[in-house]
């Protein structure tokens, strides 16, 4: 069953745990709609700017951002401002700039000139993998899914090596599943929950963001990458969790039964 659901309104910033959400073609509602960029329009992420993790978004009547050292700012969402070019993983897109006030606030938090952009309604991004799809400003596919059993196995291996277990937040999943065997998410070609359907795209190849403490923004390695490298090597990196595309939109809720059909043979 689904045990946890998260969306991340601003790419790289803290996630929001929700009891339910609408799963659209580009993922859970509000997920990665906003992007922090440098003055040239290149995206910022925790890979180089781990303090993004300390920014807590909230979505309601606009967007609210909070950070320990900077207080809170309310951002009325502007959908009419001119588009500006942005770059995500070297690919060109556009974003709607959200103004100077939030830009100054982000610059103060990150210590680097930064601006906030919104994915425009005409945003079109095709994602790759076994099942193609679309997404907002996510790293790749619309949905990242991870099982509790996979994390338990990893933490058992970490503690056996004398390390400290890592929390689920290090991996920034959208959907967490309980009741599966470890790494069952690697093998489910199709998933259904309620009226929604997901199609397996590819494994989630992990990076240095998993070594960032999601509460403080401090780098806290070498785990989990050190232990993952001992048993989860794939495609030139280490894999943990899986990426899925949305085949059929629908509403998801914690407690929903999630059913796997077919299997990935790769």
CA 68 to CA 123: how far, in whole Å?
32
pLDDT score of 266: 53
Using a 10 angstrom Cβ sphere, with 0-12 exposed, 13-18 middle and 19 or more buried, the burial of residue 108 is middle
Q: Are 266 and 41 in contact (CB under 8 A)?
A: no
Q: Measure CA 2 to chain center.
A: 17
Q: Does the structure show a pLDDT above 90 at 236? A: no
Contacts of 86-93 with CB under 8 Å at 24 or more apart are: 86/35, 86/37, 86/41, 86/42, 86/43, 86/117, 87/37, 87/40, 87/41, 87/42, 87/43, 88/35, 88/43, 88/137, 89/43, 89/139, 93/119, 93/123, 93/125, 93/137
Same domain, 117 and 49: yes
Instruction: Please say which residue of 97, 124, 151 terminates a domain.
Output: 124
Average pLDDT of span 142-152: 98
Same domain, 171 and 231: yes
Same domain, 53 and 184: no
Same domain, 171 and 61: no
Q: What percent of the chain has pLDDT over 90?
A: 94
Q: What is the pLDDT of residues 251-260, one digit of tens each?
A: 999 999 999 9
Q: What percent of the chain has pLDDT over 70?
A: 99
CA 95 to CA 116: how far, in whole Å?
9
pTM score of the predicted model: 0.96
Q: Does the structure show a pLDDT above 90 at 221? A: no
Structure tokens at 208: 């240095």
Same domain, 172 and 239: yes
Same domain, 6 and 106: no
Q: Does the structure show a pLDDT above 80 at 9? A: yes
Same domain, 46 and 158: no
Confidence of residue 262 (pLDDT cuts 50, 70, 90): confident
């Amino acid at each position: 069953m689904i045990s946890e659901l998260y969306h991340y309104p601003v790419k790289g910033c803290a996630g929001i745990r929700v009891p339910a959400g609408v799963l659209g073609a580009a993922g859970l509602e509000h997920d990665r709609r906003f992007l922090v960029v440098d003055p040239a329009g290149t995206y910022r992420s925790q890979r180089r700017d781990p303090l993004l993790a300390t920014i807590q978004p909230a979505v309601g009547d606009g967007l609210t951002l909070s950070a320990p050292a900077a207080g809170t700012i309310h951002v009325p969402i502007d959908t009419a401002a001119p588009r500006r070019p942005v770059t995500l993983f070297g690919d060109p897109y556009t974003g709607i700039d959200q103004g100077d006030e939030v830009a100054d606030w982000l610059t103060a938090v990150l210590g680097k000139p930064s601006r906030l952009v919104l994915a425009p309604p005409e945003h079109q991004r095709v994602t790759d993998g076994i099942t193609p799809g679309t997404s907002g400003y996510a790293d790749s596919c619309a949905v990242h899914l991870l099982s509790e059993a996979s994390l338990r196995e990893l933490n058992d291996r970490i503690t056996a090596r004398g390390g400290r277990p890592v929390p689920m937040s290090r991996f920034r999943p959208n959907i967490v599943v309980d009741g599966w065997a470890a790494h069952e998410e690697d093998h489910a070609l199709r998933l259904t929950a309620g009226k929604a359907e997901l199609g397996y795209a590819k494994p989630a190849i992990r990076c240095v963001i998993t070594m960032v403490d999601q509460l403080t923004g401090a780098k806290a390695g070498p785990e989990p990458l050190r232990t993952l490298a001992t048993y989860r090597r794939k495609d030139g990196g280490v894999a943990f969790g899986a990426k899925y595309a949305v085949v059929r939109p629908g509403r998801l809720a914690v407690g929903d039964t999630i059913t796997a059909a077919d299997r990935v043979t790769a």
